Chain A
């Protein structure tokens, strides 16, 4: 599958990803700037904050409970905010587009 990260400077990077990974891990493996993943993917640091493109909102599902708690204390949160460690890559998300928020 492919994922496109829209970076904070407005440019985009499209990368290959295997199924079953946390989207945060895909970003860190590809050195996407603005995604740090300090807590290792436990929805406990909010350093992997992204906005999900409208057409992908349904497919990426609902926020998890710890994610919801964390986003309540995070900068610049919008309705389409997600922590990318709480999104798993899968064939159903092939072509996913997210915007990196930065922290």
Chain B
């Protein structure tokens, strides 16, 4: 049985029940950051209710799980205003809404096994430092050091390489047999691109994927790291590997990859260890989950929306517009977090100085006051580039054009090869309040063109 909402999207009985349950809860108990809502998609009902009833929402400690208290911005206009006001909404020391790190965790990348509790605590107290968790002027120094790696000229040089790899990946896929599209295509293509961006050995590219997956997830059974010890060890491995490479690149002729650019930046000699691993980590995650999950998302969405799929196949010129619509609908990173630098009043609520604020891009991208029929996936909608997924302001996604390029190329190459790609069952979705993605998605390609 399905129930139609006013705006024309249909819910299963299970979803309708979840929605009813969420609408029956006291507002102050709503915790949009609870990762348990994400695999089911139920966070959309929370955001739908918050946009209507409590657009600037406070989740107190007692209802935040282990996140500790925080604010949520759920309307497009408030998210854009906060994202573009780095003086009121500071990125210093913060990237996302996560459980505060323990001293052991914070120190893990730098701990050779001899650190005292005091040394670990000092590292924890200094907090996160990276190009995504800094305000001006440090932000410009760190971003400026590496931005050339995804400059328009560099992307133009990368396009034929990406196209050749996409073709090889697609030509190797089995026909008429079920396989995991996430592993065989989405991860494979983005891992190759990531290895190029870091000039990291291609044969070890899956190491980059693993480090990124571990960094963005809590350890547990079935997760990229099963235990905290495994997670901490992987973060140390990443730090040691990146520091070694950067040290070596200082002695080599300058190249255009991120690590050479960082090595040859006059500022990088003065980076702290925290900053070095912070910048490398942001570039790693930024180039990994985002594009990968949007590629998988496009396969899922076009399978579930046959009319949109027919439009695309009839008119491949819609690829760029389909790519933007998928980036909006998927919102592969659900939010970024900031900290207020003084009391800030929005829509009658006062956010006290120093509180954390989550800017929920995922919610803003479904805001009906900004985007008509926002829950629907429409590949030829009027302003497809109008979405929050890349963020706005000085921290706007550095690799957005590379993401669009990879999506465009893989679809151009898929359309000429395969008349259909069918998703079997429901994909396995990520258990995360930050990375909105797919762990596994079974597909069948019945035949080639």
Interface residues of A (CB under 8 A from B): 36-40, 42-46, 66, 69-70, 72-73, 75-76, 102-103
Contacts and interface: CB of A to CB of B under 8 A. Distances in A.
Interface string B135-166: 01001100110011001100000000000000
A11 to B, nearest CB: 18
B84 A42 contact: yes
Nearest to B154: A75
Given A38-B385, A39-B80, A102-B152, A73 B139 contact: yes
B368 to A, nearest CB: 17
B386 A72 contact: no
8 contacts: A42-B392, A44-B80, A44-B83, A44-B393, A69-B394, A70-B393, A73-B140, A73-B143
B392 A72 contact: no
Q: Name the residue among B80, B83, B139, B396 with the largest chain A CB count within 10 angstroms.
A: B396
A86 to B, nearest CB: 13
B390 interface: yes
Contacts of A45: 390, 392, 396
Interface in B67-84: 80, 83-84
A75 B390 contact: no
A36 B139 CA distance: 25
Interface of B: 80, 83-84, 86, 136, 139-140, 143-144, 147-148, 151-152, 385-387, 390, 392-394, 396, 401
Contact of A46 (B140, B386, B396): B396
Given A39-B392, A42-B392, A43-B84, 6 more contacts: A38-B387, A44-B80, A72-B140, A75-B147, A75-B148, A76-B151
Contacts of B152: 75-76, 102-103
A72 B136 contact: yes
A63 B6 CA distance: 45
B181 to A, nearest CB: 29
Q: Name the residue among A36, A39, A66, A76 with the largest chain B CB count within 10 angstroms.
A: A39
B360 to A, nearest CB: 17
Contacts of B390: 38, 45
Contacts of A38: 385-387, 390
A102 B155 CA distance: 12
A29 B396 CA distance: 24
A42 B140 CA distance: 20
A50 to B, nearest CB: 14
Contacts of A102: 152
B151 A75 contact: yes
A69 B83 contact: no
A45 B84 CA distance: 9
A75 to B, nearest CB: 5
Nearest to A36: B385
A69 B86 contact: yes
A3 B143 CA distance: 34
B152 to A, nearest CB: 6
Contacts of A70: 393-394
B188 to A, nearest CB: 28
A32 to B, nearest CB: 14
A38 B151 CA distance: 18
A73 B144 contact: yes
Nearest to A40: B386
